[in-house]
Amino acid sequence: MEEPVLVLPGSGPEALANLAIGCEACRRCSLSAGRRNVVVSRGNPQARLIVIGEGPGAQEDEAGLPFVGRSGQLLDQMLESVGIDSNRDAYVCNIVKCRPPDNRKPTALEMAACRPWLEQQIALVDPQVLLLAGATAVEGLLGIKGGITKLRGQWRAGEGTSLQGRWLMPIFHPSYLLRNPSRERGSPKWLTWHDLQDVQRRLLQLQAAS
């Protein structure tokens, strides 16, 4: 029987701490059986930007933190190149909080089981912009399946309870950029750098308007 998501009391940092406790106790899907650590988040819980990836890899499972392996290091470098510090200016998390075996893509059932935790994170952090790293993040949050090549770089206005009033930007996942390291004009890495510049511009515009 599926366990209900337990929302523990509190607000602000206390609520996020309670959410992490809830994730530690979660057994909503079979991924919990193989994890070393639950990987909830890193970064600034008051940031105006949330970065959402697919799920933890081996290094993330070991450290209990998202995006700390090679992909995470590249993400940090690319964000920094446009003036965004991933720990100061962003809150970083994943569609699923436990590592899928052999780093496979999480299943639809696994993503659905973890979705309430992600929705609570979004509600508590209350970001203006969501950066969706990779096709799985787009599918897990928006239910849109398809090639990230067509989706990346296109702003989407959030819809529904947890996303209303927010802006969403899909980008290539850093692991894909590691496999395609060229920086030539039109390359995935070149396109991602321009997408991140667009994200920074949007953040500055929203800040000026607030």
Residue 11 has pLDDT above 80, yes or no: no
Pairing of strands 49-53, 129-133: parallel
Taking only the tens place, the pLDDT of each residue in 47-86 is 999 999 999 999 999 999 999 999 999 999 999 999 999 9
User: Where does the pLDDT of residue 175 fall: very low under 50, low under 70, confident under 90, or very high at 90 and above?
Assistant: very high
- Cα–Cα distances (Å) from 126 to 44, 48, 134, 206, in that order, read 12, 7, 21, 14
Name the more confident of 199 and 1: 199
- CATH assignment, 13-209: 3.40.470.10
Angstrom CA distances, 139 to 5, 71, 151, 174, 197, stand at 21, 20, 11, 17, 23
pLDDT of residue 10: 56
Angle of helix 13-25 relative to helix 108-125, nearest 10 degrees, comes to 160
Reply yes or no on whether the pLDDT at 3 is more than 80: no
The band of 2, judged by pLDDT with boundaries at 50, 70 and 90, is very low
Q: Evaluate if residue 5 carries a pLDDT over 70.
A: no
- Averaged pLDDT score across all residues of the chain: 94
Q: For the whole model, what pTM was predicted?
A: 0.94
pLDDT at 12: 75
Across the range 116-133, mean pLDDT stands at 97
Indicate the DSSP class of residue 54.
Answer: S
Span 28-40, average pLDDT: 97
Domain residue ranges of the chain, discontinuous segments joined by +: 13-209
